Each structure stands twice: as C-alpha cells, then as structure tokens.
Amino acid sequence: MDISILMDTRRVQISGGSTFIVSLPKKWAEKNGIESGTSINLLEDRAGNLVVSPRPLTQKVALKADIQVTGKESQEGIMRRLVGAYVSGTTSITVTSKDQLPVDVVRTVREFTRLVMGVEIVEERRDAIELQDLIDPADFSMRSGLKRMSYITERMIEDSMKIMTDRQESLLDDVILRDLEVDRITWLIHKEYNMLLVSPRSMEKNQMPLDQALNFLLSSRLIERVADHTVSMAILIKEGDIGTNEALIKEVQALGIKSRDIYSDSIKALFTEELSLADSVIDRAKKQRKKADALQRKLFDIPADEAVTLTQLLSSIDRIGAYGADIGKMTLNRSYASK
C-alpha cells in the first residue's frame, strides 16, 4: 500500500472581482487525469479545511495490500502482516506466492478472516488468495464500537471476580472467549482511525473531530489491556491455587470490584467529558494501589502457592484501576481542546 502526502502552498487570485481562484499542482492533476473540463469534488471538513478530490467524496476509499510469501515465514509472522494490513486501512489484501501457497499460510489466512470483522475470501487460486473488506468504515461508529468493547470488558471483570467464590468453570471459559470479541473491535477501531486520516467522508459521516478519534483509539488500546488482564485473572483462578481462606479471597474480590468501578467510571467520563468524574477516577486509583499494597502484606502468612496466585491477581486488579486512571487523564487532557 502506498499513501503519499502532498504538501503545497498556492496563492489565491481573484477573477472578475468576485471569483476566488487557486491553481492545482500539475503533477497531482496529471496523476489523477485532471484536464480542462474535468469536474472535481470539494468538501469542507469540521476543522475548516477544504478537501479537493478527483473522485466523489461519497465513494469508499480503495486501498490495496499485496503480501508475498516465500514459505519460510512463521504462522505468527503471516498473521501479524495480515493484521497490520487490515488496521492500516486496506480494503483488499492479496496473499501471493511464486509457487503453490503453503498449507500453513492458507490455514493462517482463514484463521485471520475469523479473527477480524468484515473480511472475506473472494477469490482463491493455487498461488494466491484475495481478501476483501466488506465493511465500509464510514458506516462504522468508533463511539459505538468503543462502548461495545468497554461493556464486554466490564462484564468480563465482574465474572472473573464472581468466579473467585462460586468457581463456575464454564463462566471462566466464557471470559476467555469474550476477549476475542474485544480484540476484533479494537482492530476495527484502529482501522477506522486510519481511514479517518485518508477519507473525509468517514470523518464527516461520524461527526467526530480527529483529536476525539485519537482519544478513542488510545482508549481502545487501554481497554484491550484491561481485557487481557481479566483473561489472565480467569486463567489464574482456573489453573492456580487461590486457597481456602475465604476472608482473604473476599478482600481480593472486593478490591477487584472497586477496580471495575474505577474502570467503568473512566469510560463514562470519556463519553460524557465529565471532568469531576475523571478527577475522581484518578484519585480513587491512587487509593486503590495503597489498599492493594496493604492487602499484599497479608499474603505473607499463607502457603507460598496460594500467595503467588493471589499476588498475581492483585497485580492485575491494580493494573485495571491504573488503566482506568489513564483513561481519566486522557479525558482531562482533551477537555480544553474540545471547548
């Protein structure tokens, strides 16, 4: 995929006393087939910039990526390249080989279509597979996507804490599975942000300033990390030894619920831009850390295996609160820019 940015300065002239005229860069005009009588399209964005396009601005931006494989790449390496092409904003990905595509590559491509939203195999040959993104990013709302993944993650935290006392293994497995949905939405938000940079249509249709879109992008990364810590907790509870000290387990559980509340309020502050709530989130996260440190000292009196498991749980609980504080800080940092 090749995206080049043209930066140029042109002097405005007045013709006939009332018509403002500016010339187009010759190389750009020739590259896009602009000649005398050609119609071009103009769009004023929310920042007051005037976008000039040789194509209708209601048209989906088409970006293509060609991934050539030799057969020496690992499955993880191929997956990283596919995800990278996807989130960078491509609408078409072609995986090619000089010879027959290795079976492992074909399997990885099929797994990739399961892991991301909207991508399907539209053509498959001996030496190539073509993928097409069937979702128009302009029809996807970063706000709704972020709300969806934040809600899923909140429920994941709740269920992980609940299982500490009722030990429902099926619920633990469900927590782990829901992390996949969070990843799928995260990648789609990354893709949408990159499309906002190259597609005025997406920005106008979503009615979202670019700085707010950046806040949502950064928040999605933090939410994804919260989900990852929640999965780590679920695995620890399932495979580790948290012991039988019910009073201590309930203290850890209560601290986890408070971290969930900090995280939930940070998301609320992000969407409502309620600065007092963002401040509260940051202050509560600091107090949460002190409580975690105090609880950590109580673990010295229990068996080593149990202490290790509960220590790791406390670490994840603390990180969830800290990520909530980071989201609160981003809300505060953008507060004056949004006025």
For each of the chain's 339 residues, which pLDDT tens digit applies? 344 456 678 888 887 777 888 888 888 888 888 888 788 877 766 556 777 877 665 545 567 899 999 888 899 999 999 999 999 888 899 999 998 999 999 999 999 999 898 899 999 999 999 999 887 655 678 899 999 999 999 999 999 998 888 777 778 888 888 999 999 999 999 988 887 777 655 555 566 777 888 899 999 999 999 999 999 999 988 888 888 888 898 999 999 999 999 999 999 999 999 999 999 999 999 999 999 999 989 888 888 888 999 999 999 999 999 999 999 999 998 876 555
For residue 178, what pLDDT is reported? 92
Asked if residue 59 belongs to a domain, the reply is no
Domain co-membership, 119 together with 34: no
Domain co-membership, 129 together with 47: no
For residue 329, what pLDDT is reported? 94
The three-state secondary structure class of 157 is: helix
Domain co-membership, 119 together with 196: no
For residue 62, what pLDDT is reported? 67
Tokens of 68: 């050539």
Asked if residue 339 belongs to a domain, the reply is no
Asked if residue 150 belongs to a domain, the reply is yes
Which residue from 222, 299, 287, 298 is spatially nearest to 258, judged by alpha carbons?
287
Domain co-membership, 214 together with 173: yes
Domain co-membership, 94 together with 216: no
Answer with the one of 135, 164, 198 that is the final residue of a domain: 135
Asked if residue 260 belongs to a domain, the reply is yes
Taking a C-beta distance cutoff of 8 angstroms, is the pair 270, 327 a contact?
yes
Domain co-membership, 206 together with 330: yes
Domain co-membership, 95 together with 143: no
Cα–Cα dist 109/130, whole Å: 10
Q: State CA 243 to chain mean position distance.
A: 36
Asked if residue 4 belongs to a domain, the reply is no
Cα–Cα dist 104/265, whole Å: 44
Taking a C-beta distance cutoff of 8 angstroms, is the pair 128, 67 a contact?
no
Residue 69's domain is classified under what CATH number? 3.30.110.20
For residue 59, what pLDDT is reported? 47
Answer with the one of 135, 152, 181 that is the final residue of a domain: 135
- In total, how many domains does the chain have? 3
Domain co-membership, 179 together with 81: no
Asked if residue 5 belongs to a domain, the reply is no
Asked if residue 307 belongs to a domain, the reply is yes
Taking a C-beta distance cutoff of 8 angstroms, is the pair 69, 38 a contact?
no
Which residue from 29, 47, 17 is spatially nearest to 208, judged by alpha carbons?
47
Domain co-membership, 49 together with 80: no
Q: Which domain holds residue 278?
A: 138-334
What end-to-end distance do the CA atoms of the chain give, in Å?
Answer: 37
Domain co-membership, 218 together with 288: yes
Taking a C-beta distance cutoff of 8 angstroms, is the pair 113, 121 a contact?
yes
Taking a C-beta distance cutoff of 8 angstroms, is the pair 277, 267 a contact?
no
For residue 205, what pLDDT is reported? 59
Q: State CA 59 to chain mean position distance.
A: 24
Q: What are phi and psi of 262, to 5 degrees?
A: -60, -45
Answer with the one of 80, 111, 135 that is the final residue of a domain: 135
Domain co-membership, 127 together with 155: no
Domain co-membership, 305 together with 204: yes
* Number of neighbouring beta carbons within 10 Å of residue 332: 15
Which residue from 164, 162, 156 is spatially nearest to 306, judged by alpha carbons?
164
